[in-house]
Amino acid sequence: SLTTNNLLWILEEFKKKEVEFKDRLKTFKDEKKQETATTINTKLGEQHERGTAELKKRIENLATMLEKLVNVAQQQGVSGDTLTTAISEAKTAITDAQSALNDEAGKQYVASVSSETTLRTDMKTVIASVRSGLEAVQKKITLAKQELMDIVQLVRNAKATVTPTSEPATTSAGL
């Protein structure tokens, strides 16, 4: 979990890396490479920010859906150990996804450029790191979504197996 102190430390570390990155770029003779690296680095940060914001929305939607599913199950009188376990597993999966997102959101990606000749490789490495970090969170979200689908299925199955408690009245026509 991110605390204010952790966030401040992360921000300071990011600023240090950003300064180091810019200092290394200044040593490049090719100005076009400097501009390209700076642009990619900026866009990478923006992509990471957009990605984490989108994943945050998805996790919030999953939490809302879980609440709604629990309410529907209660309204329909669906209960039992299997449902309780499924709800618990869904909550755990959502919490895991949120935790992974918090960890990922706390990361700041800056290319560690070592030389002009390795610029392309260095940039590809940091781009791959951003993608893999966001994909890892997405996998956790997918698992949480599957847990919710399990609850939907349990509620549907319980609803289908419920039989009416009263039989339709039969009338005799005086025969």
pLDDT tens, residue by residue, 116-134: 788 888 889 989 999 999 9
Between 81 and 163, the higher pLDDT residue: 81
pLDDT digits (tens, 9 = 90+) for 74-95: 888 888 888 899 999 999 999 9
Cα distances (angstroms) measured from residue 105 to each of 53, 87, 99, 101: 9, 27, 10, 6
Q: Across residues 56-65, what is the average pLDDT?
A: 96
39-42, long-range: CB < 8 A, 24+ apart: 40/111, 40/123, 40/127, 41/110, 41/111, 41/123, 41/126
Cα–Cα distance list, 85 to 15, 28, 77, 88 (Å): 45, 59, 16, 5
Quick one: what percent of the chain has pLDDT higher than 70?
A: 77
